[in-house]
Structure 1
Amino acid sequence: MTTPAKDAKLIKTASDAARRFVESYYPALNDNRSSLDTYYYPDAAITWNGNAILGGGNFATFFATMPTSHYDVQSFDAHPVAVDAMGNCSVMLNVSGSVKYGESKEMRGFGETVILRPEEGNPTKFKISAQGFRLVSG
C-alpha cells in the first residue's frame, strides 16, 4: 500500500532521474557517442525509428553509422512505474524535441519513450531497459 509521502518520494525520484538522464544522454548523442553503451543495460530492448536493436552495445554500433546529430529536447515528463519490494522504482520517461542530422539545416521533430531501471544496489543510478524512438513526419 502506498501513502501520500511514499508517492511523493517516488515522484521526486522519477523527476530527478529523468532530469539527470536528459541532461547527460542527449549531449552524449550529440558529442560523445563512444559513451552511449554505458547508458543501457546489455539486454535493453530498443526500437529506433522502426529498427529493432537489442542492447546498448548494439545501439552504440548502430548509432555510430548515423551522421552527426544535434538533439534539442523541448520537453520531458517522468512517471514512477514498477515499484519493487524495496520501494525502488523504474521510471517511464517521455521526451519530445527536435533533431538535425549531418549538414542539413532542417530540424525534425522526435518523440521518445524510455524506461529507466535502477541499477541493482544503487537505486538512484538508472540505465535504459527499454526505449522507443520515432522521428515525426515532416
Structure 2
Amino acid sequence: MAVQLSDTDRVKVSTEVAEEFIEAYYTALNSSSARNTIASFYIPPIPGTTPSRNLPIINYNGDLSNDGSTFQTKFSEMPYAFYEAQSVNVQVLNPCIDPNGAKSRKEAERNMSLAVQVSGNVRLNERKEGPLRGFSDDMVIVPNKEAAGGKGTGKTGEGRQWLIQTQNFRFVV
C-alpha cells in the first residue's frame, strides 16, 4: 500500500525543499566558480512528441532552452549578475507523481512535484553598485530519480535531490 502524507506534512516538506533548493540554485548563479554547475540543477533532456514539448523548458527572459547544458553555456556568456531572492512561495503541484511508488514516508516525501515562485532583485555587472532590477522566477521542480534518467543522489546522498523541469525567468522592468 502506498504511503500518503498529510496536508501539513506536504506543506512542511515542500517549504524545506524549496528553501534549500533556491538557496543552492541562486548561490550557483552568483558564484563565478559554481556557474559551471548550473546544468546539474535541470532534469536531463527528454524529447517530447513535438519540439515545443521537450523537457526541460527553460525560458530566460524570452530565450528558450531545452537542455541544462545549453542554458549553462548561454548563462556563462552573460555579463556578471548578482541575484538576491527576497521571497519564495511553494505549492505542491502534484502530491503523488507515482501512486504505487511511495512505500515509505521518505519515498512519499520525494513523490511530488512542486511549483516554486521566487521574486527578488538582480544587480547587473557589479555586485554592490550595478543597476538594480527586479526579477520573477517560476519553476516546477521534481525529485531526481535514477529511473527518470537522472544521476540520482547516489548512496552517499551526493547530487541534486530535486531538479528543475520547467522554468520561466523574467526581469521586472
TM-score (ref. length: structure 2): 0.72
Q: How many pairs does the alignment contain?
A: 134
Q: Quick one: distance in 2 between partners of 1:90 and 1:133?
A: 19
Greater strand content: 1
Say which one has the larger Rg.
2
Q: Which residue, out of 154, 166, 169, partners 1:130? A: 166
Number of the residue aligned with 2:113: 90
Q: Please, which runs of 5 or more residues in structure 2 have no aligned partner? A: 46-55, 103-107, 147-151, 154-159
Give the percent of matched residue pairs that are identical in Structure 1 and Structure 2.
Answer: 31
- Backbone CA RMSD of aligned residues: 2.0
Q: Quick one: distance in 2 between partners of 1:62 and 1:14?
A: 30
Superposed structure 1 runs of 4+ greater than 2 Å apart = 121-124
Q: Quick one: distance in 1 between partners of 2:91 and 2:118?
A: 12
Q: Quick one: distance in 2 between partners of 1:58 and 1:14?
A: 28
Displacement after TM superposition at 1:72 (Å): 0.8
Given the alignment of the two structures, is residue 101 of structure 1 paired with residue 124 of structure 2, yes or no? Answer: yes
1:33-52 matched pairs, under 5 angstroms: 33-43=35-45, 44-52=56-64
Displacement after TM superposition at 1:117 (Å): 0.3
Displacement after TM superposition at 1:96 (Å): 0.2
Q: Please, which runs of 5 or more residues in structure 1 have no aligned partner? A: none
Number of the residue aligned with 2:49: none
